[in-house]
């Protein structure tokens, strides 16, 4: 082993931060639901019987929408997984989920437009367009908007990670001042079964990356895995041309 290979690493850590950009805070009133906190919670039917536990929350990803809407949930009962569409959700609380009477579980299928939040986004890297930064997601936050439940923000703080190591009550607590608006997220990567490596999903905020200086963009791209780097570079090049 020679320690030469660590030099770029140390250089990366010591280098100057990007120009003064700030992440956008969320602007949603009302109760916020922590994805890390609600996953694993009990799921009840309309008669109050427990039918399983909440395994994941699925949103429909549409590059034109700043806040993806909740598409459904994945339930787990006796080691089996089933998908339940959002229309069958009677109430999603920070610590439980209640379904309507006529819910029909379907087999879980991966579809290109759907993103499972706990599996695909939580604990992974996202490209923050507003802050021009690559950060790792400590928690995701859902909010109740007039047209339904949507993914409104991401928390990338270390404090929230520590919170998640604690008891369930602590895990569910959302600190709004540490949550950034999901609308500022330029890209996130999705790693599906069978496909090695990951693919970036780009959002409308990715256009902001075209305003970065060349050296800033180079630093940013340098932190992504090769395939994602090429994908984002091509996208930004396309934006610049437009």
Q: Which residues bind another protein (CB under 8 A)?
A: 1-10, 12-17, 36, 123-125, 133-136, 156, 158, 161, 164-165, 191-197, 219-220, 223-229
Smallest separation (angstroms) from another protein to the CB of 2: 5
CB closer to another protein, 2 vs 78: 2
* Minimum gap (Å) between residue 45 Cβ and another protein: 28
Give yes or no for a contact between 91 and 97, defined as CB atoms under 8 angstroms apart.
yes
- Distances from the Cα of 226 to the Cαs of 68, 219, 239, in angstroms? 27, 13, 20
Nearer to another protein, 127 or 149 (CB): 127
Q: CB nearer to another protein: give 88 or 108.
A: 108
- The least distance separating another protein from the CB of residue 74, rounded to whole angstroms, comes to 16
CB of 162 to another protein, least distance (A): 9
| 69-77 vs 50-60, strand pairing mode | antiparallel
Give the whole-angstrom CA distance, residue 140 versus residue 155. 6
CA quadruple 26, 28, 32, 36: dihedral sign: negative
Nearest to 63 by CA among 217, 205, 224, 209: 205
Least distance CB 35 / another protein (angstroms) = 13
Residue 139 or 149: which CB sits closer to another protein? 139
In the complex, the smallest distance separating the C-beta of residue 193 from another protein, rounded to whole angstroms, is 5
């Amino acid at each position: 082993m020679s320690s030469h290979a660590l030099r770029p690493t140390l250089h990366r850590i010591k280098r100057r931060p990007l120009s003064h950009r700030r992440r956008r805070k969320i602007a949603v009133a009302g109760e916020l639901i922590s994805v890390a906190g609600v996953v694993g919670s009990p799921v009840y039917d309309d008669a109050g019987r427990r039918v399983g536990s909440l395994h994941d929350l699925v949103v429909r990803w549409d590059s034109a929408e700043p806040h993806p809407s909740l598409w459904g949930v994945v339930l787990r009962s006796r080691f089996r997984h089933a998908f339940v569409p959002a229309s069958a959700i009677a109430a999603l609380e920070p610590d439980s989920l209640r379904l309507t009477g006529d819910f029909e579980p379907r087999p879980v299928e991966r579809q290109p437009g759907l993103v499972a939040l706990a599996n695909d986004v939580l604990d992974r890297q996202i490209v923050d367009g507003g802050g021009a930064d690559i950060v790792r997601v400590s928690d995701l936050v859902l909010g109740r908007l007039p047209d339904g439940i949507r993914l409104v923000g991401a928390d990338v703080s270390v404090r929230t990670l520590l919170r998640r190591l604690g008891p369930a009550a602590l895990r569910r607590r959302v600190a709004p001042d540490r949550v950034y608006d999901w609308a500022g997220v330029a890209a996130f990567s999705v790693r599906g079964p069978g496909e090695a490596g990951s693919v970036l999903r780009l959002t409308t905020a990715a256009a902001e990356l075209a305003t970065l200086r060349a050296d800033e963009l180079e630093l940013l791209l340098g932190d992504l895995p090769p395939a994602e780097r090429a994908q984002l570079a091509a996208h930004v090049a396309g934006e610049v041309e437009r």
